[in-house]
Amino acid sequence: MMSHGAKSRSQGRRDHAMAESPTGIIGTGSCLPSTVVTCDEIDRALNARPGWTQRATGIRERRCAPAETSLTDLAVGAGREALRAAGVSPSEVRTIIVATVSPDPPVPAVAARVQDRLGATHAFAFDLNAACAGFVFALEVARPLVGVDVERPFVLVIGCDLWSRMTDPLDRQTWPLFGDGAGAVVLGPVKEGGFMATELATNGSLGDYAVGGFSPPLPGQAPESTGHLFRMRGREISELMFEKLPKLVNTVTQMAGVAVADVDYLICHQANPKLVARCAEEAGFAGDRNVSTGEVFGNTVGASVPLGIDAAVQDGRLREGSLVLLAAFGAGMSWGGTLIRWSKPGARVEER
């Protein structure tokens, strides 16, 4: 029987003759706008009862970029921090991938502007759009590119979005959820650990679950129109996450030959922190094993997973040898998960 959607699976092996070492994440970084929007402010703006936003979503506050801040600004900031943490210079980067659905503007790619501002003159750069699942998809695209060029073996992957500009302030389904931010990782050859297994899937027949997100009105729409802004079917997306996340976790861990109980942390896209906590517990990750940043950042779309990774690195949870499972669900509908054995920070294989 043919199933709906397409799937892609991979395990952490390398096929390129020049890249015998495993691939891992060797540096992380974040960049967040300084403006904080609290749940009390959201409640007042929506004329909701005090505490409604936090009760409904689990979000206490989120970040909102001022008009003078561009998506590229955030992406560059996160990328620079990740390179610094990895001990990698921009000249050593061969590829830059930016996972985003809110480029400013769509042409040229955000990644091209990041390449220029970082001074990574030897890197080729492109954007990837898989909505909230974009960062996990970008990791799978990036992984086989690591080590292909022995002089420039590193790949910079950035997840970033300014989704507060793409939602209707009067829409209770979307506006309270979304914040702005950027997170980044550097992929490189490592001596031990690294990527172990990945599962990706898309079911385009569910494309109407989440649509829109253009910042100006579309041609033919009135200037005051909100029809171009992001809309989603929250109940259906919630049901999809409850159905797919436990299956995704089981599939990826089985591919890697480990038990769910052996995985130290789940870092899941923060669609709605309250929903994610329930889904995570259903999948076997209760309490501190579920790395949650949505309470203070909200749903940052493509930035959600890398922000969670960097937070877990900064607070000391992710350390050498930790098993971490990254998972995300995004418009499309697309979803994916990848299991990583965490490498030593800044670990890199010496050139032969």
The set of catalytic residues is 132, 269, 299
Q: How far is CA 179 from the centre of its chain?
A: 13
Cβ neighbours, 10 Å, residue 89: 14
DSSP β-ladder status, 290-291 and 323-330: unpaired
Nearest to 56 by CA among 177, 144, 151, 231: 177
User: CA of 199: how far to CAs of 7, 20, 131, 193, 339, in Å?
Assistant: 7, 22, 17, 18, 9
346, 27 in Cβ contact below 8 A?
yes
Number of other CB atoms surrounding residue 205 within 10 Å: 10
| SS3 of residue 65 by DSSP | coil
Could you tell me the end-to-end alpha-carbon distance of the chain, in angstroms, rounded to an integer? 49
Q: Give dist(CA 75, CA 109) in Å, integer.
A: 12
3-state secondary structure of 176: coil
Instruction: Give 133's contacts (C-beta < 8 A, 6+ positions apart).
Output: 200, 269, 328, 329, 330, 332, 334, 335, 336
SS3 call for 309 = helix
List the beta strands (DSSP E) in the chain: 6-11, 23-31, 36-38, 61-63, 93-99, 124-128, 154-162, 180-189, 194-202, 210-211, 231-232, 265-268, 290-291, 323-330, 334-341
CA 254 to chain centre: 23
